[in-house]
Chains A and B, each alone.
Chain A
Amino acid sequence: MGAVHENSGVRCMKRISGINAPLKGGMSVLKPFDIHAHGPDGYVFTRWLAGLPWWTPLMIVVIIGVYPSFAYAQSSFSVSDAFGALWRWMPFLLVSGFLFNVLISFWTLLIGTIAGAALGLGQISPFGPLRVFSWFITQLFRNSPWLVILFIVLLALPFEFNFLGQTIRVPDWMKGVFGLSLPVMANISEVVRGAVQSVPTAQWEAAESLAFNRRQILWQVILPQCFKRMLPPWMNWYAILTMATPLCSLLGIEEIITLSRQAMESEDNHPELLVPFYGFALLLFFTYCYPIARLTMRLERKYAVKL
């Protein structure tokens, strides 16, 4: 009875086994206590996001709509004025603001993935000094606050440099991209290292017995098997970094949060504007990242190493 009722309520959304439905084929067995199985596994945020119900954005809309009407009841600037202002700014915030965040996230992912893959391969190099160096860089940027890295990059990078006699100006948003790329790079590095090490050593031995050299084993045998395993954590990091792009507003980069603030200023900074404008940004981020999180968790289940 209960199951039927539950299913009818979410007919439009497939449940993900193990996330918001019982694990398929999961049998309850007594396993030895494994501390890693009880700690966070890197999907903490994505799993939470993927586990939210599909009507979350509707709830956000309702909250945005209801909250100001009792919070600012005394003001002369009415709630409908605030929503009118948001309505006028909406296309601008979406196209110039949010799409710019998406652009930043793409660039960050691109640079972070390329650099992270190189660093990850460095971590499994047979050459000791390179391995130690890659490990150190990975740990350094993986465990530093993103905002601190962002500020250091902004202040340390020259804002213009000479190239073939021409002065090239580095746009601020490119610095933001670079700053966000560093922690992403470090985390992708760990993803690559983990995926390579998850391939059984028997695969290495089989390839060695066929006279493959190390480089051939890595590129022909091991890495092709890793791509599937790397896809979910890679998407997980994309969702996380997209959510982190508003950090760039602290550098004055004109992404959605910066533009929202400027828009509110031009509407005379009424406090009633805060919830609709920031709520709108929240709604956009949710709408963009939610499908990614759902897909990530689904793939993660699908490609999970079966023992």
Chain B
Amino acid sequence: MAWTAEQPIVSLKNVCKSFGSLEVLKGVSFDVMKGEVICIIGPSGSGKSTLIRCINGLNDIQDGSITVQGKEVHDPNLDKLELRKKVGMVFQQYNLFPHKTALQNVMMAPLKVLKEKKLDVEERAYALLKKVRLEDKAHSYPGELSGGQQQRVAIARSLAMNPDVMLFDEVTAALDPETVKEVLITIRELAEDGMTCILVTHEMGFAREVADHIYFTDRGVIVEHGPPKSFFDNAKDKRTKEFLSQIL
């Protein structure tokens, strides 16, 4: 039952999730292959963020199955820490550690969790900060950085763990239009490097440009999905059309 690269790296089957009596996800299924970039779009409250948070086990599910590299995420015997070493996550509100500098934020997890050597980690951290074009801000605290800069540090922090999958939960939603661009450029470069990315986003232009596949969710189900071109130009479902006409 070993996982091979030909199988989906992330696979959701009939995922159901409810908060009390409120059903948020009502049977969501999709597969993500290694190196694929998929975007989940949809109106607010349609369960997008909940869905993405289930993939690294921040939220539990009531029914269905989620596997990452063939391992069941919601198996009670699964070592969640091992899973999370492989699945990076970036949040809407950045959530950097405010008492550490940008560099320390990036270095912390590899040092404390992976127990790597400080010199190696430091080298990698500087390289990552350079990648997100923030090498001159290495010694700044999160409070001294703009939203866009903080978000790029957060991306570097996640990448420092060398994950196989990256989850982006509305990472540009709290940013102003100017800084949205710099974050999106970083994510696009990441996608071009072959990182498997699952994005929840409201940036339709960006989704169209980088995604291999788009999923449209509404009221806890996937209403429509397809490659960006056919999805945006030839939407078939009424709800999708309505949503797209409002947003585009």
Tell me which residues across on chain B come within 8 A of A225, comparing CB atoms. Answer: 97-99
Q: Which of the segments A99-107, A206-214, A261-269, A283-291 contacts the partner chain?
A: A206-214
Q: Which of the segments B80-88, B212-220, B229-237 contacts the partner chain?
A: B80-88
CB interface residues, B 61-116, toward A, < 8 Å = 81-82, 84-85, 87-89, 91, 93, 95-99, 108-109, 112-113
For the residues of B in contact with A, the DSSP-based class is mixed
Q: How far is the CB of A221 from chain B (nearest CB, A)?
A: 6
Tell me the complex Cα distance, A209–B95, Å: 11
Q: How far is the CB of B177 from chain A (nearest CB, A)?
A: 24
Report the number of A-B residue pairs with Cβ-Cβ less than 8 Å. Answer: 51
**A221-B58 in contact (CB<8A):** no
User: Does B50 sit within 8 A of A, measured CB to CB?
Assistant: no
**A211-B109 in contact (CB<8A):** yes
A225 closest partner in B (C-beta): B99
Partner among B82, B98, B99, B109 whose Cβ is within 8 Å of the Cβ of A210:
B109
Tell me which residues across on chain B come within 8 A of A224, comparing CB atoms. Answer: 99
Tell me the complex Cα distance, A103–B2, Å: 66
A221 closest partner in B (C-beta): B97
**Listed residue (A202, A211, A221, A224) with the most chain B CB atoms within 10 angstroms of its CB:** A211
Tell me the complex Cα distance, A255–B184, Å: 68
User: Does B56 sit within 8 A of A, measured CB to CB?
Assistant: yes
User: Does B152 sit within 8 A of A, measured CB to CB?
Assistant: no
Tell me which residues across on chain B come within 8 A of A96, comparing CB atoms. Answer: none
User: Does A220 sit within 8 A of B, measured CB to CB?
Assistant: yes
User: Does A203 sit within 8 A of B, measured CB to CB?
Assistant: yes
B154 closest partner in A (C-beta): A206
**B58-A208 in contact (CB<8A):** yes
A207 closest partner in B (C-beta): B97
User: Does A81 sit within 8 A of B, measured CB to CB?
Assistant: no
How extensive is the interface on chain B, given as a class?
20 to 34
User: Does A20 sit within 8 A of B, measured CB to CB?
Assistant: no
Tell me the complex Cα distance, A221–B97, Å: 7
Partner among B58, B93, B112 whose Cβ is within 8 Å of the Cβ of A209:
B58
Tell me which residues across on chain B come within 8 A of A202, comparing CB atoms. Answer: 91, 93, 95
Tell me the complex Cα distance, A211–B110, Å: 10
**A211-B113 in contact (CB<8A):** yes
User: Does A69 sit within 8 A of B, measured CB to CB?
Assistant: no
User: Does B157 sit within 8 A of A, measured CB to CB?
Assistant: yes
User: Does A7 sit within 8 A of B, measured CB to CB?
Assistant: no
Q: How far is the CB of B223 from chain A (nearest CB, A)?
A: 28
Give residues in B with beta carbon < 8 Å to A.
56, 58, 81-82, 84-85, 87-89, 91, 93, 95-99, 108-109, 112-113, 154, 157-158, 161
10 A–B contacts, CB within 8 A, in A order: A203-B95, A206-B95, A209-B58, A210-B157, A211-B81, A211-B85, A212-B112, A212-B113, A216-B113, A224-B99
Q: Which 10 A-B pairs have the closest CB atoms?
A: A206-B95, A211-B84, A210-B109, A209-B89, A211-B85, A202-B95, A211-B81, A211-B113, A224-B99, A225-B99
